[in-house]
Amino acid sequence: MKKFLTLAFILISLFTTAMAQKPKVTSATVANDKNYTVLNAKESIVIFKYQHPGHSPKEAEKYTPKYYFTTVSSDVLQQLTMSNLKKSFPSNHPFHDALDATFKEDKELTGYDDFHKMYKVNWLLKQHS
Nearest alpha-carbon partner for 37 in 61, 68, 58:
68
Amino acid at 32: N
Residue 109 DSSP symbol:
G
Rounded to two decimals, the pTM is 0.75
- What residues contact 32, with CB distance under 8 A and at least 6 apart? none
Nearest to 63 by CA among 35, 83, 38: 35
Choose among 21, 23, 45, 58: nearest CA to 112. Answer: 45
Give the pLDDT confidence score for residue 26 in this predicted structure: 74
* pLDDT, tens only, 35-91: 888 999 899 999 999 887 776 667 767 778 899 999 988 888 999 999 999 999 999
